[in-house]
């Protein structure tokens, strides 16, 4: 974080774990996947099958019967939330996310909606 942003709380993300998203920018542009994990403090999401990296892992002796395990592993890396967009379940296209507040049994609940259509997600 920059020094000027040291005490600030990051803005909330509108994309959650389990959402289906499409990548808008980068080498995986156009790919779709499910959000495996969300990191709101870093403004990043981990999307299944997107932003695959090759990582060198150290040899450890924790394998079966003391076998050495290590080498090059492929795995997903987090991608910035601004580079993905939620897929609207009805139209199957990228859509912005908004919120609507409904009152149920005297309590106000926050419901996510798709921006162009206004349908619940």
Give every CB contact of residue 4 below 8 A, 6+ residues apart in sequence: none
Q: Looking at residue 4, what is its pLDDT?
A: 58
Confidence of residue 119 (pLDDT cuts 50, 70, 90): confident
- The full set of domain ranges for the chain reads 10-87, 90-121
Name the nearest CA neighbour of 114 among 82, 87, 78. Answer: 87
pLDDT in tens, 4-53: 566 677 778 899 999 999 999 999 999 999 999 999 999 999 999 999 99
For domain 10-87, the CATH class is mainly beta
pTM reported for the whole predicted model? 0.77
What is the average pLDDT across 108-121?
86
The CA–CA distances, whole Å, from 48 to 2, 5, 76, 106, 117 equal 29, 30, 7, 39, 27
How far is 81 from 38, CA to CA, in rounded Å?
9
How far is 103 from 17, CA to CA, in rounded Å?
25
């Amino acid at each position: 974080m920059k020094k000027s942003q040291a005490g600030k709380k990051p803005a909330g993300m509108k994309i959650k774990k389990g959402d289906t998203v499409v990548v808008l920018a980068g080498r995986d542009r156009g790919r779709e996947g499910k959000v495996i994990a969300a990191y709101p403090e870093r403004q990043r999401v981990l999307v299944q099958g997107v932003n695959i990296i090759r990582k060198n892992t150290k040899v450890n002796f924790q394998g079966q019967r003391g076998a050495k395990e290590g080498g090059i592993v492929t795995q997903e890396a987090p991608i910035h939330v601004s580079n993905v967009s939620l897929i609207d379940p009805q139209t199957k296209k990228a859509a912005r996310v908004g919120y609507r507040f409904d009152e149920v049994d005297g309590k106000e609940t926050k419901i996510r909606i798709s921006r162009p259509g206004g349908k619940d997600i």
